[in-house]
C-alpha cells in the first residue's frame, strides 16, 4: 500500500486535520484535555509539574502541526538545505522559548492563571536539555533558533545522549558529579521508530573486480548497531517556519550480523550485546576544549555521521537528481572536527556504493562541506590513533590514506623544493603510534574554513593553518564572528528590559533586527528612561540574590557591585586570576582602618561553572573559590564589603537568571586563547559592563561599544609567546601583590595549604603558562578603576545604555546570514505559500 493517501480520499483528511489553538479558551481546552487524558490526572491531583507537562504538550501539538507543514513545504520547493552537524546542542529549556517564539506566552499566562497556576512556576518545572559542555554546544543551539527565525531550510543533526552533561553538586567545597536524568518527563522529542539506519563497525575490507573489471572495495563483517531518529521541533521567532533537530539514539540491531554471533538461547549475552549497543549514545563526554582519544568517542562520531549522511542522501535520492547536483542541494557544516568523518563517509558512499570515480566524488565532497574551528588550544585538536581507526573503521582509514596521498602529491607539485612542508601538512602524523589529524582532514575536505572571531581567525591563518593558507590561498579561510540569539538572551531572560526597549522603539522589531537597538542611544539622557533602566537592573539583581539565598544560604547586598564569572572552569579562562584578585581585595580590606573601609565599594564576587571530572587543576580552583567563600563570608571585619559566591550547577537556565543581574562580568582569558567567547555578548546585551583581556570577541565588542565602555587589561596576544619563552628560561619574578596572596594561602588562611600547592606552584615554579602573574598588577589596577567608575552611578548607567544600543552586530541572525551567503549559498524559504 502506498503511504500517501490518494486524492479522492484526501477530503476527509483535510476536514479533520489537527487544529492549532490560538485563543485562551482553546489553549485551556487543550491543556485540560492533555492533563485529563495524556497524563491521566485531574483537578484533584494536578501539581505544578503536571501543569508544566500539560502546557508543554499543548504547545508541542502546535509545534508539530507547523513542523509538518514546514517539512512538506520545504520538500515541495526542493531548495538547498543546511545540515548543521554538531555533537553538542546545549538547548536549555524549551517551553518558555516556544511560547515566546509562537507569540502566545501572554495567552498561556492568562489561561494558566484561570486554572490556578502562575506561569513562572510552571516554566521553572522544566529540566534543561543539556546535551553540551559550553560555548560550542550553545552556539549550535543559537544557530538553530536563528536559522528557523530567518526561514532557512535547515536541520540539526546530533546524538540523543541518555545522560547529558553531569549535574554539579558542591560537597565540602569540592565538585561532585551526579548523573543528569534529563529524558524522564521530556515532552519535546518525537520518537521516529520507523526511521532507522544500521551502522557498521569493525570487520574488514575485501577487494574485488566489478562487472566492468574495475577494482572495487567492500567493507564486510564486523558488527551492526541501529540508529533510531528522535526529532525535536525548532520554532522560529515570529514565523511559521519550524525546523527539525534530529538526534540519533543507538540500539542493538536485529540484523543478520547479530544473528551470526547470537548463541541460540543465550539470553544473557543477547542482553549484553543490547547494552553494548546502547552505550554508544549513553553519555556526553564532559570535556570542554579537550579531546582524549577514547574508542567510544570515535564510535559516537562515526555512528552519528553515518546515520546523518544516510538520512541526507536518502532525502536527496528521492528527488532523482544527478549526483553532480548534490552540493547544490546540500550544505553540511561541521561544528568543529567532531563530524570530520562525514567527509570520508560521503566519499566512501560515492565511490564504493554509488560507483562514482574518485575525482568526481571528491569534487562533490569538498563543495558540500564547511568546517568551523573553535579553538587554537593544542589539547583540543582531535587526533585519532591509526591502529584504533584501522580496527574500528578499516575502509575509512584506507580512504583517508588515499585522500592524503592525492593531497600530498598536489603539494609536492606546487612546492617541489620544500620537503619539510609534506610532513607538516600530512593528515597522518608520523608519531608512535601514527595519528590522524582531524583538523587537516576537515580543511582538505571542505571548501571553507572559518574561525569564530577576528583575532582567532587571524591566529588560525598565521599559526595553526599557515601552511594550508600557502597551499590553498587565503580564500578558503574566513572569519565569522560569533553571536547570540536575542530571543533567548534578551527577550526571554530579561523580559522587562526587552519591554522597555520595545516601548521606546515602538515595537519588538529589534528582536528580528538587532541593529535597531542603536535607536535607544537617543534616550541615554532621558531621565525617566534611565530610572526605569536602573530599576530593572536592580530587580534582576534581587532575583539573583534570592536564588543565591535559596541555594547557598548566603545573604548578599543588592546594592553591592555584582561581579560575575560564569563559564566552564579552565586554566586558560583564568578563574584562578579572579579568585587571587578576590583574596587580594580581602587582604586589603582587612588591613584598612574604619575610615578607609567607608570608601570601599561593596562587592559580590560570583562564580559558576563545571570542571571536567578528570581535570584536577580545574577542580582545585573550584575548591579554592569555595574555601575563600567560607572564610570571607563569615569574617565579621568584612560584613557587606565583600561576599564570595559559588553557584552550583551552572547551566543555560541559570545563565538566564545570572546574565541580566551582573554589573560587571569577567572575560579574562590569556590573550590569544579564547576563540570568541559568547557570554561576554550576553552580559553586555543585558546592560552589564565587562572586564576583559584583548582576546576573542572582546576585541570586537570594544570596537562596537567604544573603549570608554569596557575595562580592558593585560598583555596582548602578540606578547604571549615571548613571555612564555622567558619564563621557560628562568626569567620569572612573581608579582609582589600576588606573592602576598600566595603567602596568605600558605599560611593556611583558606584551609590546608597543601590542597592548593598545585595551583601556586604552576605559577611560581612551572613557568606560569597562562601568565597569571604577568597580568596580575594590570588586573587589580583595572578593578580599582571599576570601583571608581561604579561610584558614579549616573555615568555607569550611561555606559550601560550606550553599550546595549551598540550590540546589534552580535545577533546570531547576522552570523547566520553571513554563513548562508559566504559558506552555504542557501536562500530562505517562505513556508506559508500554498504547497499544492
Q: Is 567 a catalytic residue?
A: yes
- Cβ atoms of 642 and 682 closer than 8 Å: no
Q: Closer to ligand GPK at the Cβ: 756 or 810?
A: 810
- Phi, psi angles (nearest 5°) of residue 748: 65, 30
Min dist. Cβ of residue 134 to ligand GPK (A): 4
Single out the catalytic residue among 24, 160, 573, 585.
573
How far is it, in rounded angstroms, from Cα 351 to Cα 345?
Answer: 10
Q: Closer to ligand GPK at the Cβ: 452 or 604?
A: 452
Q: Is 456 a catalytic residue?
A: no
Q: Closer to ligand GPK at the Cβ: 74 or 168?
A: 168
How far is it, in rounded angstroms, from Cα 191 to Cα 372?
Answer: 30
Min dist. Cβ of residue 133 to ligand GPK (A): 6
Min dist. Cβ of residue 119 to ligand GPK (A): 32
Q: Closer to ligand GPK at the Cβ: 744 or 820?
A: 820
Min dist. Cβ of residue 787 to ligand GPK (A): 28
How far is it, in rounded angstroms, from Cα 753 to Cα 513?
Answer: 53
Instruction: State which H helix or E strand residue 661 sits in.
Output: none
Instruction: State which H helix or E strand residue 5 sits in.
Output: none
Q: Closer to ligand GPK at the Cβ: 482 or 492?
A: 482
Min dist. Cβ of residue 700 to ligand GPK (A): 12
Min dist. Cβ of residue 93 to ligand GPK (A): 20
How far is it, in rounded angstroms, from Cα 800 to Cα 781?
Answer: 21
Burial group, residue 124, by CB count within 10 angstroms (0-12, 13-18, 19+): middle
How far is it, in rounded angstroms, from Cα 530 to Cα 633?
Answer: 33
Q: Which of 815, 678, 812, 819 is nearest to 332 (CA)?
A: 819
Single out the catalytic residue among 226, 682, 783, 799.
682
Q: Closer to ligand GPK at the Cβ: 237 or 810?
A: 810
Min dist. Cβ of residue 749 to ligand GPK (A): 33
Cβ partners under 8 Å of residue 656, min gap 6: 92, 488, 489, 492, 493
Min dist. Cβ of residue 340 to ligand GPK (A): 13
Q: Closer to ligand GPK at the Cβ: 111 or 135?
A: 135
How far is it, in rounded angstroms, from Cα 371 to Cα 337?
Answer: 7
Number of CB atoms found within 10 A of residue 722's CB: 10
Q: Closer to ligand GPK at the Cβ: 289 or 760?
A: 289
Q: Closer to ligand GPK at the Cβ: 203 or 609?
A: 609
- Cβ atoms of 610 and 286 closer than 8 Å: yes
- Cβ atoms of 293 and 333 closer than 8 Å: no
Q: Closer to ligand GPK at the Cβ: 375 or 800?
A: 375
DSSP labels, 508-525: SGGGT-GGGGGGGGGGTT
Q: Is 573 a catalytic residue?
A: yes
Q: Quick one: angle between helices 757-764 and 616-634, nearest 10?
A: 110
Min dist. Cβ of residue 109 to ligand GPK (A): 34
Q: Is 568 a catalytic residue?
A: yes
- Cβ atoms of 272 and 358 closer than 8 Å: no
Min dist. Cβ of residue 292 to ligand GPK (A): 12
Min dist. Cβ of residue 770 to ligand GPK (A): 14
Q: Closer to ligand GPK at the Cβ: 653 or 678?
A: 678
Q: Which of 618, 621, 548 is nearest to 578 (CA)?
A: 621
Min dist. Cβ of residue 402 to ligand GPK (A): 28
Which conformational region is residue 671 in: left (phi greater than 0), alpha (psi within -120 to 50 degrees), or beta?
Answer: beta
Cβ partners under 8 Å of residue 453, min gap 6: 479, 481, 482, 675, 676, 677, 696, 697, 699, 700
Q: Which of 229, 214, 134, 112 is nearest to 676 (CA)?
A: 134
Q: Is 338 a catalytic residue?
A: no
- Site residues (vs ligand GPK, CB under 6 A): 133-136, 139, 288-289, 336, 374-375, 380, 452, 482, 674-678, 696
Q: Closer to ligand GPK at the Cβ: 32 or 290?
A: 290
Q: Is the peptide bond before 284 cis (omega within 30 degrees of 0)?
A: no
How far is it, in rounded angstroms, from Cα 608 to Cα 568?
Answer: 8
Single out the catalytic residue among 246, 374, 487, 654.
374
Number of CB atoms found within 10 A of residue 422's CB: 15
Single out the catalytic residue among 242, 478, 485, 678.
678
Q: Closer to ligand GPK at the Cβ: 687 or 696?
A: 696
Q: Quick one: angle between helices 105-114 and 95-102, nearest 10?
A: 120
CA torsion sign, 821 to 823 to 829 to 831? Answer: negative
Single out the catalytic residue among 567, 654, 727, 806.
567
- Phi, psi angles (nearest 5°) of residue 561: -75, 120
Closest residue by beta carbon to ligand GPK: 135
Single out the catalytic residue among 568, 727, 783, 799.
568
- Cβ atoms of 442 and 780 closer than 8 Å: no
How far is it, in rounded angstroms, from Cα 108 to Cα 23?
Answer: 9
DSSP labels, 424-493: HH-SEE-SSS-EEEHHHHHHHT-SEEEESSHHHHHHIIIIITHHHHHHH-GGGEEE----B-HIIIIIIT
Min dist. Cβ of residue 698 to ligand GPK (A): 10
Q: Is 217 a catalytic residue?
A: no
Active-site residue set: 374, 567-568, 573, 678, 682
Amino acid at each position: 500500500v502506498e503511504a500517501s493517501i490518494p486524492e479522492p480520499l484526501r477530503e476527509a483528511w483535510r476536514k479533520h486535520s489537527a487544529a492549532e489553538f490560538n485563543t485562551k479558551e482553546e489553549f485551556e481546552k487543550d491543556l485540560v484535555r492533555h492533563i485529563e487524558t495524556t497524563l491521566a490526572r485531574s483537578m484533584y491531583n494536578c501539581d505544578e509539574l503536571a501543569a508544566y507537562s500539560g502546557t508543554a504538550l499543548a504547545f508541542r501539538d502546535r509545534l508539530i502541526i507547523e513542523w509538518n507543514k514546514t517539512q512538506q513545504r520545504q520538500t515541495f520547493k526542493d531548495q538547498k538545505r543546511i545540515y548543521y552537524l554538531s555533537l553538542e546542542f546545549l538547548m536549555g529549556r524549551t517551553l518558555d522559548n516556544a511560547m515566546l517564539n509562537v507569540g502566545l506566552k501572554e495567552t498561556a499566562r492568562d489561561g494558566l492563571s484561570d486554572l490556578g497556576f502562575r506561569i513562572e512556576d510552571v516554566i521553572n518545572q522544566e529540566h534543561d536539555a543539556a546535551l553540551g559542555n559550553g560555548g560550542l554546544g550553545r552556539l549550535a543551539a543559537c544557530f538553530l533558533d536563528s536559522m528557523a527565525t530567518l526561514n532557512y531550510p535547515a536541520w540539526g543533526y546530533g546524538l540523543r545522549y541518555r545522560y547529558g552533561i553531569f549535574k554539579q553538586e558542591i560537597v565540602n567545597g569540592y565538585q561532585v558529579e551526579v548523573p543528569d536524568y534529563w529524558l524522564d518527563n521530556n515532552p519535546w522529542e518525537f520518537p521516529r521508530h520507523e526511521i532507522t539506519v544500521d551502522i557498521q563497525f569493525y570487520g574488514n575490507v575485501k577487494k574485488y573486480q566489478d562487472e566492468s573489471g574495475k577494482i572495487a572495495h567492500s567493507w564486510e563483517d564486523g558488527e551492526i548497531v541501529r540508529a533510531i531518529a528522535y526529532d525535536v521541533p525548532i520554532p522560529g521567532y515570529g514565523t511559521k517556519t519550524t525546523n527539525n533537530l534530529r538526534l540519533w539514539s543507538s540500539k542493538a540491531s536485529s540484523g543478520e550480523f547479530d544473528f551470526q554471533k547470537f548463541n541460540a538461547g543465550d539470553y544473557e549475552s543477547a542482553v549484553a550485546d543490547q547494552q553494548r549497543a546502547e552505550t554508544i549514545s549513553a553519555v556526553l563526554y564532559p570535556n570542554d576544549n579537550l579531546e582524549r582519544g577514547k574508542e567510544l568517542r570515535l564510535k559516537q562520531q562515526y555512528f552519528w555521521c553515518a546515520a546523518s549522511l544516510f538520512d541526507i542522501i536518502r532525502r536527496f535520492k528521492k528527488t532523482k537528481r544527478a549526483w553532480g547536483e548534490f552540493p547544490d542541494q546540500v550544505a553540511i557544516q561541521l561544528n568543529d572536527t567532531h563530524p570530520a568523518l562525514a567527509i570520508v563517509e560521503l566519499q566512501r558512499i560515492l565511490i564504493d556504493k554509488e560507483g562514482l570515480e574518485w575525482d568526481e566524488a571528491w569534487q562533490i565532497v569538498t563543495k558540500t562541506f564547511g568546517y568551523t574551528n573553535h579553538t587554537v588550544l593544542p589539547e583540543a585538536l582531535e587526533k585519532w590513533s591509526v591502529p584504533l581507526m584501522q580496527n574500528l573503521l578499516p575502509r575509512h582509514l584506507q580512504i583517508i590514506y588515499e585522500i592524503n596521498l592525492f593531497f600530498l602529491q598536489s603539494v609536492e607539485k606546487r612546492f617541489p623544493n620544500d620537503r619539510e612542508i609534506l610532513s607538516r601538512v600530512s593528515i597522518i602524523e608520523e608519531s608512535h603510534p601514527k595519528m590522524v589529524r582531524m583538523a587537516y582532514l576537515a580543511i582538505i575536505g571542505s571548501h571553507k574554513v572559518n574561525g569564530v572571531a577576528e583575532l582567532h581567525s587571524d591566529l588560525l591563518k598565521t599559526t595553526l593553518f599557515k601552511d594550508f593558507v600557502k597551499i590553498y590561498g587565503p580564500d578558503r579561510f574566513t572569519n565569522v564572528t560569533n553571536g547570540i540569539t536575542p530571543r533567548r538572551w534578551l527577550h526571554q531572560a530579561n523580559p522587562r528590559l526587552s519591554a522597555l526597549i520595545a516601548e521606546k522603539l515602538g515595537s519588538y522589531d529589534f528582536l528580528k533586527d538587532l541593529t535597531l537597538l542603536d535607536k535607544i542611544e537617543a534616550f541615554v539622557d532621558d531621565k525617566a528612561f534611565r530610572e526605569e533602566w536602573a530599576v530593572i537592573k536592580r530587580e534582576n539583581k534581587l532575583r539573583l540574590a534570592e536564588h543565591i539565598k535559596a541555594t547557598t544560604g548566603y545573604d548578599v547586598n543588592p546594592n553591592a557591585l555584582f561581579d560575575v564569572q560564569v563559564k566552564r572552569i579552565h586554566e586558560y579562562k583564568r578563574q584562578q586570576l579572579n579568585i587571587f584578585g578576590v583574596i587580594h581585595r580581602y587582604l586589603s580590606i582587612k588591613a584598612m582602618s574604619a575610615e578607609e573601609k567607608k570608601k570601599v565599594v561593596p562587592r559580590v564576587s560570583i562564580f559558576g561553572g563545571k570542571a571536567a571530572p578528570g581535570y584536577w587543576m580545574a577542580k582545585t580552583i573550584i575548591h579554592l573559590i569555595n574555601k575563600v567563600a567560607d572564610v570571607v563570608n563569615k569574617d565579621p571585619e568584612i560584613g557587606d564589603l565583600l561576599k564570595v559566591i559559588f553557584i552550583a550547577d551552572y547551566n543555560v537556565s541559570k545563565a538566564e537568571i545570572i546574565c541580566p543581574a551582573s554589573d560587571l562580568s569577567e572575560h579574562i582569558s590569556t590573550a590569544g586563547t579564547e576563540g570568541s567567547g559568547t557570554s561576554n555578548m550576553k552580559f553586555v546585551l543585558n546592560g552589564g559592563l565587562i572586564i576583559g583581556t584583548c582576546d576573542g570577541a572582546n576585541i570586537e565588542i570594544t570596537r562596537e561599544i567604544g573603549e570608554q565602555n569596557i575595562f580592558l587589561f593585560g598583555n596582548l596576544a602578540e606578547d604571549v609567546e615571548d613571555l612564555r619563552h622567558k619564563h621557560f628560561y628562568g626569567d620569572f619574578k612573581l608579582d609582589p601583590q600576588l606573592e602576598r596572596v600566595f603567602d596568605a594561602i600558605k599560611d593556611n588562611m583558606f584551609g590546608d595549604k597543601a590542597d592548593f600547592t598545585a595551583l601556586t606552584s604552576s605559577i611560581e615554579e612551572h613557568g606560569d603558562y597562562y601568565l597569571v602573574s604577568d597580568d596580575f598588577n594590570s588586573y587589580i589596577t583595572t578593578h580599582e578603576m571599576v570601583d571608581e567608575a561604579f561610584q558614579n552611578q549616573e555615568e555607569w548607567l550611561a555606559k550601560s545604555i550606550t553599550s546595549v544600543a551598540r550590540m546589534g552586530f552580535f545577533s546570531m541572525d547576522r552570523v547566520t546570514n553571513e554563513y548562508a551567503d559566504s559558506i552555504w549559498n542557501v536562500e530562505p524559504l517562505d513556508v506559508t505559500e500554498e504547497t499544492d
